[in-house]
Amino acid sequence: VCAAGLLKTSGVFAATWNNLAFTSKDTADAMKNAGYAGAAENKDIMIKVPDIAENGAVVPVEVSSNIPGTTSIAIFVDKNPNPMIADFEFMNGAEPFIATRVKMASTSIVRASVKAGGKVYTNSREVKVTIGGCGG
Amino acid sequence: MAEAMKMRATMQGDAVDVKVLIQHIMETGQRKDKKTGNLIPAHFINQVSATLNGKMVLDMQWGVGISRNPFVGFRVKGAKVGDKVAVHAVDNLGTVFDGEVVVA
Amino acid sequence: ASGFALNSRAALSATDAGGFYDLPAFGNVSLLHITDCHAQLLPIYFREPNVNIGVGPGLNQAPHLVGEHLLKAFGIRPGTPEAYAFTYLDFDNAARTYGKVGGFAHLATLVKKIRASRPGSLLLDGGDTWQGSATALWTKGQDMVDAGKLLGVDVMTGHWEFTFGAERVKQVVDNDFKGKVDFVAQNIKTNDFGDPVFPGYVIKPINGIPVAIIGQAFPYTPIANPRYMTPDWSFGIQDDNMQTVVDEARAKGAQVVVVLSHNGMDVDIKMAGRVSGIDAIMGGHTHDGMPAPSIVKNARGQTLVTNAGSNGKFLGVLDLDVRNGKVAGFKYKLLPVFANLIEPDKEMAALIETVRAPYKEKLGEKLAVTEGTLYRRGNFNGTFDQLILDALMEVKGADAAFSPGFRWGTSLLAGQDITLEHVMDQTAITYPQTTLTEMTGATIKAIMEDVCDNLFNPDPYKQQGGDMVRVGGISYTCDVNKSIGKRINNMMLNGKALDPNRKYKVAGWAPVSEGVTGEPIWDVVTSYLRDKKVITPRKLNLPKMIGVKDNDGVA
Ligand SMILES: [Mn+2]
Ligand SMILES: [Mn+2]
């Protein structure tokens, strides 16, 4: 189902890669450097994550925003050496929804932040990463 | 490197649901080579975009925290069967990945 | 025990008014439920736990009731066969009086009797069926696949089944089970695009009433067991998809929706409160033999949550009265399978005899005699686990040992011979390697804290349904109500505080990571038993429990 790709230059991207945000060592700095500073807690950001990760190297994260006018969603994992995971900007009919898989070294807060109507919002969930073994 | 990308696009209501898998090591640059003790250089996809019939719908920036063999799923309203969804990705070493799928 | 021995063959007779198994039919939809038999084809002894602590919403609630607390909560008289079946009380004596429990030939007779008065009923198997015995391990579960089919299982889900690998499960489901047994699991998806691996549910008519049975496999299989066994599948609780599936089944006309679950009972209870439209969750995994359902209120009414014990000890019977498209009433009974009360089914007995024949002599080898009762269940330790720990530490020359908190494994009475079969009942898994690892005191604590949180996290969705890792050589205190990192304290080895920075030699078995080599655990235990010949009563290494005053999960 996957047709041969057309080679393009990287000039199609709207912005250059945000090195400052992606190399920040804590979530607060990363949020600031990615334009999400001062985000207000908002339950209309839905984060779907497993309660316990099956594999810390591949943790499925789905975020959707019910906040009107959502234009972007960013994902952060607090305990990672570089908490900023990704930033997604939606346009031309894309719904404010994203599904991806992230690396987690340990139990941590997974945070999703949203830009909507010139304001920023955020919500979070905890994902447990465990050594495993045992069972009934 | 089209063979590195697997895509699926199916209509769900009035939106197309797109799922994309790209084969990539997503090396963080923070792991040590067990033999030499040296850091393994970072090698990861960092910029990705998606288009519907040539029009950009999603502009993404990724860091090293995205899992190996990255997955991304998204939805676009107003699509219909037969439309074309394309994904374009580039990693920090400049390798380009492209994929295209027809909405089913 | 004060009771009389059970040997009434007439108990099964419908003409005998006092027949133990005369269960009057009720309503028009009946579901029979077995779960977690752990491949026990023959009658066995199985001691229920005296420690099964509930925390958070589980405090002093079913299933976290043991001994007298359980009897009181369910109105069971002490000293009765039921008290023997449902509790650990006076176990050794009661076991001598009332005899062994379970056995597929005995279960088969009981299933036939119950189904005779309930035309159209379905038999559900909640999984953990293909693992737990030598013959199941050596035949890759084939003995249990054949026994399940002969028993008449209609619908099944799984957990330990997956430790034979994804391909083996698929092979059985696509061939042996084809057209006979529906293997269902709404929560198993492929790792690439999240496609369902098995049908999520099946709708079967019972007396003209469409009944949906939704499968819920053990959500944490890739964590509790080796992930490499099912590398391309993901599991998880997936309760939003459960709601979708329930609604879909209702939309297709199902008048009754039942979840055949391997969540574990605490998870089932939480799920019953969050997902609506389920009439009953018939659960397993945590091996809780609960005499009556827990009734959970939710957005669209209520859901019954049952759990049918383990090791073939019980048959759950749920009778529903469905009127005007709705469940109007129910009766539930968890029948203990007392082998002395039931004539074994000839056909099943013959099958069991045939599958065991090639291994019988080997399995019967007497390795030692035990002077004390040997059992496994309990949150922290059991005497059979202690025996495994003692064997590991001695044979491996370790300072300390870890043994997984498995809830399966049969019991032995004082004075019984320990045969190879008994050792395999405790150890028969597809990743039996033993290990000897240098660990710092800090690492030992971290492991114990991690496992302890999987047991005592107040959020059931963050529990995994096993018991605490059994610890040999190290004494400790466990404050069950604290959070991770703060429960395990006062760790001592040989009278000295455990040094977080010092390295200790720790023996263990059942590694979940790939590529670990080592002598299988059964070889370690059998060599220890052959050497000792007589196993004196074990001294249990139990932590001092803190925060369990007035906890009905502690006897
Ligand atoms: Mn089990
Ligand atoms: Mn289980």
CA distance B68 to chain C (A): 12
SS3 content of chain A, % helix, strand, coil (to 5): 10, 40, 50
* CB–CB contact A55 C222 (8 Å): yes
Question: Is residue C422 a contact partner of residue C373, using CB atoms and an 8 Å limit?
Answer: no
C381: Cα within 13 Å, side-chain hemisphere: 25
- pTM for the predicted model, two decimal places: 0.95
pLDDT digits (tens, 9 = 90+) for C104-133: 999 999 999 999 999 999 999 999 999 999
What pLDDT does C106 receive?
97
B21 CB within 8 Å of a chain A CB? no
Cα C161 off chain centre by: 13
Q: Which of A71, A116, A121 is nearest to A92 (CA)?
A: A71
Identity of the residue in A48, A52, A58 whose CB atom sits nearest the CB atom of C223: A52
Percent of the residues in chain B that have a pLDDT greater than 90, as a whole number: 96
Mean pLDDT for all residues in chain B: 96
Residue-wise pLDDT for C460-508, tens only, equals 999 988 899 999 999 999 999 999 999 999 999 999 999 999 999 999 9
CB contact set of C259 (below 8 Å; sequence gap of 6+): C213, C214, C215, C216, C242, C268, C271, C278, C280, C281, C282, C283
Please tell me the distance between residue C356's alpha carbon and the centre of ligand 1 in angstroms.
Answer: 22
pLDDT of residue A9: 41
What is the spatial distance between Cα B20 and Cα B7, in angstroms, rounded to a whole number? 5
Residue (of C169, C166, C234, C160) closest to C195 by Cα position = C234
pLDDT of residue B51: 97
Give the C-alpha separation, C347 to B25, whole Å: 56
Asked if C48 contacts C90 with a C-beta cutoff of 8 angstroms, the reply is: no
Return the closest-CA partner of residue C45 out of C370, C275, C277: C370
Neighbours of chain B (3+ CB pairs under 8 A): A, C
Inspect the interface and report whether the beta carbons of A52 and C220 lie closer than 8 Å.
yes
Q: Is the pLDDT of residue C360 over 70?
A: yes
Residues of chain A contacting C38 with CB distance shorter than 8 Å: none
* pLDDT, tens only, C46-69: 999 999 999 999 999 999 999 999
Select the residue of A58, A107, A135 nearest C464 (Cβ to Cβ).
A135
Give the pLDDT confidence score for residue B3 in this predicted structure.
75
- Rounded to whole angstroms, the Cα distance separating C71 from C53 reads 16
How far does the centroid of ligand 2 lie from the alpha carbon of residue C406, in Å?
9
The structure tokens listed for C184 are 């269902």
Amino acid symbol at C126: G
**Rounded to whole angstroms, how far apart are CA atoms A44 and A54?**
26
C147-205 pLDDT, tens digit per residue, is 999 999 999 999 999 999 999 999 999 999 999 999 999 999 999 999 999 999 999 99
Q: Would you call C405 and A134 a contact, using CB atoms and an 8 Å cutoff?
A: yes
Judge whether residue B23 has pLDDT over 60: yes
| Residue A13: per-residue pLDDT | 75
pLDDT surpasses 80 at C4: no
A3: closest CA of chain C, how far (Å): 18
- Return the half-sphere exposure (C-beta side, CA atoms, 13 A cut-off) of residue B41: 4
> Which residues are within 8 A (CB) of C348 and not within 5 positions of it... i.e. 6 or more apart?
C104, C105, C107, C108, C147, C150, C151
* Confidence (pLDDT) at B2: 55
The two structure tokens encoding residue C109: 């007779």
E strands of chain A, at which residues?
A: 40-41, 45-48, 59-65, 70-77, 84-90, 97-102, 108-116, 119-127
The answer to whether B44 faces chain A, any CB pair under 8 Å, is: no
CB contact under 8 A, A1 and B75: no
The per-residue pLDDT for A136 is 60
CA gyration radius for chain B? 16
What value, to the nearest 5°, has the Cα angle with vertex C495 and ends C492 and C497?
Answer: 40
Alpha helices in chain A (DSSP H): 19-22, 27-33
Nearest to C377 by CA among C96, C32, C100, C36: C36
C-alpha C378: how far from its chain's center?
12
Judge whether A48 is closer than 8 Å to chain C, CB to CB: yes
User: C191 to chain B: nearest residue by CA?
Assistant: B71
| The token pair that represents C290 in the structure block | 């609960």
Longest CA–CA span in chain B (Å) reads 54
Q: Over chain C, what is the mean pLDDT?
A: 96
- CA C134 / ligand 2 centre spacing (Å): 18
User: Residue C131's pLDDT is what?
Assistant: 98
Q: Does B8 touch chain C (CB under 8 A)?
A: yes
Question: Which of C277, C159, C257, C278 is CA-nearest to residue C202?
Answer: C257
Contact A101 B70 (CB under 8 A): yes
Q: Which ipTM did the prediction report?
A: 0.93
Q: In terms of Cα–Cα distance, which of C128, C181, C160, C144 is closest to C352?
A: C144
The residue type of C26 is: F
| Domain B5-103 class, CATH top level | mainly beta
* C465 with A136: Cβ contact below 8 A: yes
Peptide bond into C511 cis (omega under 30): no
Q: Can you tell me the distance from the alpha carbon of C128 to that of C159, in angstroms, rounded to the nearest whole number?
A: 6
> Can you say whether residue C251 is alpha, beta or left, with left for phi > 0 and alpha for psi between -120 and 50 degrees?
alpha
CA atoms within 13 A on the CB side of C147: 36
Tally the C-alpha atoms within 13 A of residue B76's C-alpha that lie toward its C-beta.
26
Distance CA C6, CA C142 (A): 33
Residue C310: burial class (beta carbons within 10 Å; 0-12, 13-18, 19+): buried
Contact B68 A57 (CB under 8 A): yes
Which residues, 6 or more positions from C329, have their beta carbon under 8 angstroms from its beta carbon? C26, C27, C320, C321
Q: Do C227 and A55 touch (CB under 8 A)?
A: yes
Distance from CA of B7 to the nearest CA of C (A): 9
pLDDT bin (cut points 50, 70, 90) of residue A132 is confident
Residue A55 touches chain C, beta carbons under 8 Å: yes
Using the predicted structure, report yes or no on whether residue C377 has a pLDDT greater than 90: yes
Q: How far is CA C284 from the centre of its chain?
A: 6
DSSP code at position C232: T
Contact C376, C45 (CB under 8 A): no
B68/A94 Cβ within 8 A: no
Residues of B in contact with C192 (CB under 8 A): 6, 21
